[in-house]
Amino acid sequence: MLARIKEFLGMEAKPKEEASQQEVEKVAEEEKAKPRIGYIHLSGCTGDAMSLTENYDILAPLLTEMVDIVYGQTLADVWWDDENPMPEMDLALVEGSVCLQDEHSMKELLEVREKAGLVVAFGSCAATGCFTRYSRGGQQANPRHESFVPVADVVKVDLAMPGCPPSPEIIAKTVVAVINGDMDYLQPMMDLVGYTEACGCDLQLKVVNQALCIGCGTCAMSCPTRAVGMTDGRPELNEDRCVKCGICYTQCPRSWWPAERINMDLGL
């Protein structure tokens, strides 16, 4: 299975002679230790879950053979209430920001933190608040619901995976890294936990203002809403289109630089 995912991701397959007894034992061991995963849906649009499911080629075996989905309303029909306690989880993916006025969301999030080994802010709503940052309440279904914050504002988060939505590829890569215990790959996601106040204007504040911009256009390439363009070799933000997902700054080669991983991926 792992080989299939690696093939899908274009990761280099091991030469045959190495795929020996050792490998078989490793796979057997993996079988034993299938990570228990939960999916918690707070204030998000389900786009992150949909992106996960867009790993068509690997989805069925992923969900059935590689991990146990033990909790979640969308991916597994499991609900939590006073009679049915939330199960223990190795990893909980939290989609959506948390509404401070929504007692149910707050209670669920706090319970997840208790029950999960690792909490992942999955997608930009959970990681940075994303477009729920614009909420001001005064609307149905509950006019009182006005304050939506990244989950890290309320509970300790272990990994953040921004993206509106995160690409299917980063989700698959992360799953592989978690299964392999590849902490080096996950390190940037640990670092991104602290990046909760995101905005397209970060490009100006943290890159151009800091004499780091080189006009490569990666920010404009990655913006999911085309809020970022390039004018005279510098990013130009259309604030009306910005959803505050933080992807432009996250992908900028001048925000953080994963040199070792890139060399490894390229076989250099």
Question: Which H helix or E strand runs over 261?
Answer: helix 259-266
Burial letters 34-49, b for 16+ CB under 10 A, else e: ebbbbbbbbbbbebbb
The reply to whether 134 sits near another protein by the rule CB under 8 A is no
Stretch that binds another protein, among 25-33, 58-66, 93-101, 226-234 (CB under 8 A): 226-234
The reply to whether 161 sits near another protein by the rule CB under 8 A is yes
Q: What SS3 class is residue 211?
A: coil
DSSP state of 14: P
DSSP state of 16: G
Quick one: 99 or 247, whose CB is closer to another protein?
A: 247
The reply to whether 243 sits near another protein by the rule CB under 8 A is no
DSSP state of 89: E
Question: Can you give the C-alpha Rg of the chain in angstroms?
Answer: 20
Residue span 55-74 as binding mask against another protein, x where in contact by CB under 8 A, dash where not = --------------------
Query: CA dihedral in degrees (40, 75, 90, 4; nearest 10)?
Result: -140
* Binder among 88, 221, 238, 239 for another protein (CB under 8 A): 221
The reply to whether 162 sits near another protein by the rule CB under 8 A is yes
The reply to whether 20 sits near another protein by the rule CB under 8 A is no
Residue span 111-130 as binding mask against another protein, x where in contact by CB under 8 A, dash where not = -------------x------
Q: What SS3 class is residue 228?
A: strand
* Binder among 114, 214, 238, 239 for another protein (CB under 8 A): 214
Smallest CA-to-CA distance from 57 within 9, 122, 123, 23 is with: 9
The reply to whether 267 sits near another protein by the rule CB under 8 A is yes
The reply to whether 75 sits near another protein by the rule CB under 8 A is no
Asked whether 94 and 40 are in contact (CB, 8 A), the reply is yes
Quick one: 20 or 210, whose CB is closer to another protein?
A: 210
* Binder among 72, 166, 178, 200 for another protein (CB under 8 A): 166
CB of 205 to another protein, least distance (A): 10
The reply to whether 236 sits near another protein by the rule CB under 8 A is no
The reply to whether 180 sits near another protein by the rule CB under 8 A is no
Say how far apart CA 162 and CA 247 lie, in whole Å. 7
Smallest CA-to-CA distance from 127 within 178, 161, 171 is with: 161
Quick one: 150 or 166, whose CB is closer to another protein?
A: 166
Residue type for 81, please?
D
The reply to whether 10 sits near another protein by the rule CB under 8 A is yes
If you count them, how many residues does the chain have? 268
Residues of this chain that interact with another protein (CB under 8 A) are: 10, 51, 54, 124, 161-170, 173, 188, 206, 210-218, 220-222, 224, 229-230, 232-233, 245, 247, 250-263, 265-268
